[in-house]
Structure 1
């Protein structure tokens, strides 16, 4: 009888130890997701309300991203993209809507050049969230502002310049992360979009000094 009692005690101890280990592994996985996705973790959790479902979605995004090979840009490509961005900043003064749409397209082009797949915007944003979670919310906001129809009408029309300027700033943040530059840092680097005398227009953008790419 004593032997049976010891056996039961050992079984209970092993079960408790196993539960502790499982909880520890779950907490470790959760901590890794929180570190990797930052504010995106909270956003997905708020949308899903169920933590396990939210974490499963984030793990799937991480697995899809980790299956990709994301390469840094060459120095020549970085310089070329930076010049193109500065050209868009100049264009924003005369045509904010066109410049902002082209900024959206340029960000997508840089992503493809780095190795992200050409897919839907939602897919691009998800994959970006695994690498640059602190700018992806702004990326979504910018895309929404850029593609929104004014007053619910089907025709593009004239969108609010300040809304477009905000979108342009968000695109610049994503662009800087992808290219690894400080091109046009600060809101003052983005023209207001008001038509001015050419002699009074602000500079087209600050000179970009390539910086070390974000890990």
Structure 2
């Protein structure tokens, strides 16, 4: 066999091996991409669905539904108004921490609605938020658990304070996303 033929065989063999490796590794790369994008929400979905495959199908569906939404940044005026509303909630916390946490949840709901996230169905809202704000959503979920405990009279002031801080993480991301100062660091 000539040198050119040998080189051609080696190149073809290398291409075949590379193609097989790419096909074999694609699911792992896809899983890694979803884990990176969804962070703790990925693991939450696996726990909820029982298998990584079922969880990944759910997360893919969330991505598809999110693409259909018209999520937009807030205007500068709306951002300022919402920040002022959040300041009022923090002041309210001093006298009525339970009500402040409830009002924080309502304010986040208004911001979500104004941004274009679904706001009629709570689970659909959380699924859509998980695409863009998965890490902050984890804190918001914890805040909602504390809010339910507070309604039953089972949450102390420190728990309520931590819940408001957790809710503020999502609030801040929602309000700041797409603003000139956050375009390079905050997801929409």
> Residue 34 of structure 2 aligns with which residue?
33
Contact 2:146 2:160 in 1 (8 A): yes
Which structure 1 residue ranges, 5 or more long, are not aligned? 1-12, 151-155, 182-209
> Residue 117 of structure 2 aligns with which residue?
116
TM (norm. structure 2) is 0.79
Structure 1 segment 7-156 matched on structure 2, within 5 A: 20-148=21-149, 156=152
Structure 1 position 146, deviation (Å): 0.8
Structure 1 position 47, deviation (Å): 3.4
Contact 2:98 2:150 in 1 (8 A): no
**Structure with max Cα Rg:** 1
> Residue 182 of structure 2 aligns with which residue?
212
Larger helix proportion of the pair: 2
1:172 aligns with one of 168, 172, 184: 168
In 2: Cα distance, 1:74 partner to 1:163 partner: 33
- Deviation string, structure 1 residues 126-176 (Cα, Å, up to 9, x no partner): 2111101111111111111112366xxxxx557422221111111111111
Which structure 2 residue ranges, 5 or more long, are not aligned? 1-12
Q: Report the count of equivalent residues.
A: 170
TM (norm. structure 1) is 0.70
Helix, strand or coil for the counterpart of 1:132?
Answer: helix
In 2: Cα distance, 1:149 partner to 1:172 partner: 18
Structure 1 position 19, deviation (Å): 5.3
Helix, strand or coil for the counterpart of 1:118?
Answer: coil
